[in-house]
Amino acid sequence: MNRYLALHKIIELGNFTKAASAMNCTQSAISQMISSLEDELKIKLLNRSKSGISLTKEGERLYPHIQRLVYEYRTVKEHAQEIRGLETGTIRIGTMGSISTHWLPILISEFKKKYPAIEFVLLEGDYVSITEWIKTGAVDFGFVNPDAVSGIKTSPVKDGRMMAVLPPGHPLAENEIVSLKDLGKEHFILLEEGNHSEPLIAFKEQGIHPKISYVIHDDYTIMNMVEQGLGVSMLAELMLKRIAYNLELRPTEPPVIRKMAIGYKDRLSLTIAARRFIELLKENMDKLP
């Protein structure tokens, strides 16, 4: 089985050196495993060149079957681990600030009551980076907007509103609801979200060309900048709970909704622990803010 795992790791990581490191063996041992596998199958699986490693045409035809074999092997190991009570393991999650702050602490705390030895690794990014992490296996699953991704499976969770974020005393704060038209006239601080931005899509649908003054990757930086009067913004309502900044928050007209889903490569690639965590998430959606 190690030979198939070695081939899978080489394709996943792109070279023999990284694969050897990931499998805790020498590069020579990895090369021998691939040669042995090619001898047994009587097929050349890999092209080796200065530009890197790639599957041969025959290798490309066989690789989906090898992937399934590797996933099934991992599933068997995970089931054995589950029989032992999920004694150890790591769940890797691609996430974003609002989810990390307001959902995951609640869910992880609840999960650890049943599986205390499971560890968690949280990688924060935008929709593009999270999707890439899912595809490469860097994370088991991630939180994504289903409209912003392709090439992965998604399962809807909980949608949320986007809110207009205004400095204290701003004239627009006199309104209970802020129109996108009025918001677009202000100096706008945009949250960098890769190729899919809910505010920009909403503005475009209304034929509005906002005055983008800043593009910032961090929600809290945007809140601080808005508080200092550098502009207005639009952020997820979830992110704006229990904040320490002096801001005016208003719903928008028309409403801007942020869709949220769990994204994963396929069900076979999910570990037992990851599946159990997703099940917990689904069961507790109504309890989450």
Confidence grade of residue 83 (pLDDT, cut at 50, 70, 90)? low
Q: Would you state the structure tokens that stand for residue 228, as one six-digit string?
A: 């200092």
Return the closest-CA partner of residue 131 out of 164, 183, 173, 95: 95
Same CATH topology for 2-83 and 160-258: the answer is: no
In the prediction, which pLDDT does 137 show?
87
Fold that domain 160-258 belongs to in CATH: D-Maltodextrin-Binding Protein; domain 2 (3.40.190)
Cα separation, 257 vs 159, in Å, equals 7
Query: Looking at domain 2-83, does it have CATH number 1.10.10.10?
Result: yes
Q: Work out the average pLDDT over 121-141.
A: 92
Tens digits of per-residue pLDDT, 242-272?
889 999 999 999 999 999 999 999 887 788 8
In the prediction, which pLDDT does 82 show?
67
CATH number of 90-147+260-287: 3.40.190.10
Confidence grade of residue 148 (pLDDT, cut at 50, 70, 90)? confident
Tens digits of per-residue pLDDT, 2-33?
999 999 999 988 889 999 998 999 999 999 99
Confidence grade of residue 196 (pLDDT, cut at 50, 70, 90)? confident
Residue 173 · residue 150 · CB < 8 Å: no
More confident residue, 8 or 87: 8
Q: What is the mean pLDDT of the chain?
A: 92
Q: Would you state the structure tokens that stand for residue 173, as one six-digit string?
A: 């704060």
- Going from the C-alpha of 182 to that of each of 28, 192, 211, the distances in angstroms are 65, 21, 11
Query: Domain residue spans in the chain?
Result: 2-83, 90-147+260-287, 160-258
Cα separation, 107 vs 101, in Å, equals 11
Return the closest-CA partner of residue 215 out of 225, 228, 206: 225
Cα separation, 136 vs 128, in Å, equals 12
Return the closest-CA partner of residue 148 out of 85, 70, 209, 94: 94
Cα separation, 32 vs 22, in Å, equals 16
